[in-house]
Structure 1
Amino acid sequence: MKKSGVSDEDLEHCIKVAQKAVEIAKRTTAEVDIELIARGALLHDLGKSKTHGIEHGRIGAELGKELGLPSTITDIMEKHIRGGLTEDEAKELGLPVKDYSLKTIEEKIVIYADRLVDIITEGIIELKDERGSETRFEEIIKQNIKYGKNDITTRRYMEYHKEIQSLMKT
């Protein structure tokens, strides 16, 4: 990541997302590929070595393909933008028109962890109450357009939150 030009701040974010994603995955009852989750989360923002724009997911996936990463990882990199876009949303945002929707639980855990880390590191939740980012997730996403972006994206994040929380061990 460093060799590709990812900033220290973005690298720190990716490490936190990987740690959070693995922690979430271990708390679920789902059969998940922990290594895929860790690697996908760690590399999800590789495209920020070139841009912080909406296309960083696509660019990161292209860079990942050049590095020989498997499609399971490059899919996470490409599709993490706004939690997975529809073809119409991609067209509206000027991205190649295709379905970017998240299909696997691993993809969903990574994007969920990405949102949670943003909420935690940006001070919405006190660090000592990290689990509060999960309990208050719906409220935070609805109240902070920065995290939800728009109604469609907000609904998508809510669905991932509910699905993943339903898989949590009691």
Structure 2
Amino acid sequence: MHEAGEQWEALLREAGCSNRVIAHCRSVHELALEYWHEDIMDREVLEAGAYLHDIGRGITHGLCHAQAGADLCRRKGLPEKVARVVERHIGAGLTADECTLLGLLPIGCMPLTPEERVVAHADNRVAGTRIITLEERMMRAAHLPRRLKRRLYRLWLEMEMFRQSPGT
């Protein structure tokens, strides 16, 4: 593991994340790198965001772990771009209204930048440390409202086309 990876793991441990969460974050990080495009992505933001996306799980395992993790990243002085990757990684994103309905802070948590979208997608593709299929992901999302399932499906298709395009 490179030095940055060791630093991110130390941050995850310091935040109270379990070995299981850290292993998941490592797997998401490895998968996210498969989507990296040199011309349009900041590799440091992608790597840090992918590794730290679940840092909030050291505080809570609820949906609010993303917002709690982003807040922790900001308090630790990490770049705002990294905090936003953490904040916006839930599913294929949540609107401010959806956040409000779920009891979260009423802020938009839709992944917008390429780094945010890649990390959200990589997290959707990794269950524990195992990469899952689109079919399995959609089965796991069967209980969600149609608009959220559609958002997940569209992000999956977009990211898989993106991964196969020149430059990766």
Q: Specify the TM-score bucket, using the shorter chain as the normaliser.
A: 0.7 to 0.9
SS in 2 for 1:83: coil
Query: How many angstroms apart in 1 are the aligned matches of 2:119 and 2:63?
Result: 17
Give me the TM-score of the superposition, normalised by structure 1.
0.81
* Secondary structure of 1:40's aligned partner: helix
1:11-160 to structure 2, matched below 5 A, reads: 11-25=22-36, 31-118=40-127, 121=130, 133=132, 136-137=133-134, 139-145=135-141, 149-160=144-155
Contact 2:53–2:66 (CA<8 Å) still a contact in 1? yes
Count of matched residue positions in the alignment of Structure 1 and Structure 2: 154
RMSD of aligned C-alpha atoms? 2.1
The one-letter amino acid paired with 1:99 is G
TM-score, normalised with respect to structure 2: 0.82
The residue aligned with 1:124 is none
1:8-61 Cα shifts (integer Å, max 9, x gaps): 100110011001101222xx5862222211110100111111100111011101
Quote the offset at 1:120 in angstroms: 6.3
| Partner AA of 1:16 in structure 2 | S
CA distance in 2, matches of 1:46, 1:144: 22
Equivalent pair of 2:23/2:129 in contact (CA under 8 Å) = no
Aligned residues with identical type, % of pairs: 31
Question: What is the alpha-carbon distance in structure 2 between the residues aligned to residue 12 and residue 114 of structure 1?
Answer: 12
Q: Which amino acid aligns with 1:83?
A: A
Q: Distance in 2 between matches of 1:140 and 1:66?
A: 36
Q: Secondary structure at the match of 1:88?
A: helix
* CA distance, structure 2, for counterparts of residue 29 and residue 7 of structure 1: 32
